[in-house]
Amino acid sequence: MENTWVANHTVRSDFDLVGLFSQSKHPALLCVVIFVVFLMALSGNTMLILLIHYDVHLHNPMYFFITQLSLMDVMYISVTVPKMLMDQVMGVNKISAPECGMQMFLYLTLVGSEFFLLAAMAYDRYVAICHPLRYPILMNHRVCLILVSSCWLLGSVDGFMLTPVTMTFPFCRSREIHHFFCEVPAVMKLSCSDTSIYDTLMYLCCVLMLLIPVTVISSSYSFILFTIHRMKSAEGRKKAFATCSSHMTVVILFYGAAMYTYMLPNSYHTPENDMIVSVFYTILTPVLNPLIYSLRNKDVTKALKKMLNVEFVFQETIK
């Protein structure tokens, strides 16, 4: 018995990812769909980053935060999806313990950073709408850099706290992770030791990671709605509401899925539902963000049309 236990810890150092494709009746079609969505997310977010970088009219705090959001989306969809697609094409589903730990760390860092970034974006909208005259002072470039740096730092703290502890637990059960990447709850189910204390600490950590940004967002938008209601200009109300509704759409999509994954009791979870929810906020949200912030934003669509017109004129000149 002891030899079997040792063998499980030393010989088998890799995991099997039992992901989305094993649950699908048409895995090849699903693989193509996810690949297309992945390309859309990469191209959409990259285009938004370049557009904001090159158009001087978009050089303000709101678009600086949107650039960071797009960068995070590109990075964390790249942490999970390429590995999943390559495994399906190559016919393998294994991931080594170091790769699993690295994927977990990057994912936790990026998602944690995005939690706080969305709060910073809500605060930015609060200052812009409720204190427009003081906006250039309260949200100067230095303040924006501090806020963004703090978001990345707090996100990395989440990764540094949870990843080492999770990966040092003994895994002497099945090595099959019922997920398409190394998400903490899915990996913890493989542990043969008592994880109740760690589960409680992880729950409290996630509550804080969500509670602080949600409090900032809720407070900011309460003041914003009150200010919009008092606006005399119908056009001003419409513009403020359009900007805020775009941001609230992203917040609801992202936080809703995260709360389901990390705050609901285990009795509410099944591997199939967990994977579906994870697809929602690791694959679909990155492709929706650039659409939400570009199609519903007149400044971005104007800058995009301007860039396309310049390219068209340049091509015509060459001909």
Give average pLDDT by consecutive 10-residue segment, the chain, 319 residues.
Answer: 41 75 82 92 91 86 92 92 89 88 93 91 90 91 95 92 86 80 85 79 79 88 83 69 72 79 71 80 85 74 72 50
- Residue 72: predicted pLDDT: 94
Quote the distance between the C-alpha of residue 93 and its chain's center.
24
Cα distances from 314 to residues 301, 306, 318, 319, in angstroms, run 20, 12, 6, 9
> Half-sphere exposure of 263 toward its Cβ, with a 13 Å CA cutoff?
13
Q: What CATH number does the domain located at 14-318 have?
A: 1.20.1070.10
In the chain, alpha helices (H): 2-10, 27-54, 61-90, 97-130, 135-138, 141-167, 184-188, 196-230, 234-263, 271-279, 285-295, 298-318
CA distance 156 to 177: 24
- Residue 135: predicted pLDDT: 92
- Token code pair at residue 101: 């730990």
Q: CB pairs under 8 A, 24+ apart, for 3-6?
A: 5/172
Q: Under 8 Å CB-to-CB from 132, ≥6 apart: which residues?
A: none
Per-domain residue ranges of the chain: 14-318
- Residue 310: predicted pLDDT: 57
- Residue 295: predicted pLDDT: 64
Quote the distance between the C-alpha of residue 38 and its chain's center.
14
Q: Which residues pair with 16 in a beta bridge?
A: 94, 176
For residue 209, the SS3 value is: helix
- Residue 12: predicted pLDDT: 53
For residue 176, the SS3 value is: strand
CA distance 135 to 129: 9
